[in-house]
Amino acid sequence: MIPVQGFRGQKVAVLGLGRSGKTAALALRAGGAEPIVWDDGQPARDAAHDEGFDVVDLTKSVAFDGVSALIVSPGIPHLYPKPHPVISAAWDAGVPVDNDIGLFFRSFATSEWDGFDTAPRVIAITGSNGKSTTSALVHHILVENGRSAQLAGNIGRGVLDIDPPSDGDIVVLELSSYQTDLARALTPDIAVLTNLSPDHLDRHAGPGGYFAAKRRLFAEGGPDRAVIGVDEDEGRYLANQLADHLADDRVIRVSSGQKLDQGGWTVFAKKGFLSEYRKGRQVASVDLREVAGLPGAHNHQNACAAYAACRTLGLSPKGIEAAMRTYPGLPHRSQVIAQVGGVTYVNDSKATNVDSAAKALAAFPKVRWICGGLQKEGGLAGLHASLDHVVRAYVIGREADAFARDLPGVDAAICTTMQAAVAAAVADALPGEVVLLAPAAASFDQYDNFEQRGDDFTAQVKTALAV
């Protein structure tokens, strides 16, 4: 655990007692603070009380008397669509509001580092899609190349739950917009933006607010090196703002699909080959076509970002390539479940928005597509260019009829349930086709989360195939 610095003997409030909130309370206590905690749910409050925490109703008018800071869990709105009442009360009382990411960055470095030969470093990875895969891939590459590394943040362990870093240790953090938006301290050594597409627009009051939350990691974080996906205008804009000139190698531009050879330091993938260029000349190449854990152009973009981040740490192209070939992939992200009778079954339940689903569809030429759920803002227009890969759609969710109507020219079966969709797709599928779960929607109309939805798909496939 990383004990939180700077609050010894002070009262600090924690709002929200999920994984990050509970860990923050423990880390505050480990650092000598006096945490008081609150959650809107009674079961979480009861559990905190049983663990010895002081449970205080932060909605009361005097709750912030003597409180030095309020630490907020990422799922709690702090500005849009409207601030949580406890956060409003903290503002009125003049109490600084922060989150566990801010606590991590203010507490990560300690006096023990004075005896290290190599200072620990932090790689922070954000973006709309692919940040989990990129984070896990960076961690895998580091470990496979003999580097001491820990993976945390929006994936794996909470940031304050990791072990205090050792000499030369590298911490890989996946950070969501919810986390970067509020953190009062953001000081990564290397920052990565995979891409940007519309998501969480209600939480950020539109695409501008969403981009601004991501941009804070770079503009306020001041990383030594920035790896920027430039396949969208926002990435191009950010790379331009961070670099003093085209050859400024503090900024590494990455892309999937376009050649970047005009100067500077670039990494791009085209036709299945990753290329690294410096000052307009190619210095390395990696064949991604046979890397089983990274199928499709969207994963090649992730590979480029991970490759670039690892190169900034001095890893060799050959060492990175060898590690990529052993990368197993993440559950629910282009995860191959089975291959039976020439048909491949792929679980991409994490494809919860239109952009990620479109990239999943584009990765395979003939798709039996299981889709549907709770639609996000903006509709399904962003999918239309990828629908020619769809042999047939099998639509699930409580609003399956409405979802199917937004898929022009697609043969769509209204299945509603995962069981019915999988059974129909398995019966219809022909050799050379892919049965793909890429919902393009949230899961909350039928499931608690995308993991539960992916697990259901996996179970139904195995039952239908008797594997």
> Residues forming the annotated binding site for ATP?
127-133
* Rounded distance between C-alpha atoms, residue 395 and residue 454, angstroms: 15
Contact between 457 and 347 (Cβ < 8 Å): yes
The torsion defined by the Cα of 107, 183, 155 and 114, in degrees rounded to 10, comes to -20
In order of 39, 49, 64, 76, 246, the CA distances from 42 in angstroms are 7, 10, 20, 16, 55
* Cβ-based neighbours of 295, under 8 Å, separated by 6 or more: 334, 363
Element counts in the chain: helices (H) and strands (E)? 15, 20
> Which amino acid would we find at residue 97?
V
Q: Residues comprising the binding site?
A: 127-133
DSSP state of 317: H
Residue 152 bridge partners (DSSP): 157, 173
Q: Which long-range contacts (CB under 8 A, 24 or more apart) does 283-290 make?
A: 283/317, 284/317, 285/317, 286/317, 286/320, 286/321, 286/324, 288/324, 290/325
In order of 42, 218, 246, 261, the CA distances from 265 in angstroms are 52, 18, 9, 9
Q: What are the tokens at 114?
A: 């004075």
* Cβ-based neighbours of 208, under 8 Å, separated by 6 or more: none
**Residue 281 DSSP SS3:** strand
* Rounded distance between C-alpha atoms, residue 441 and residue 355, angstroms: 10
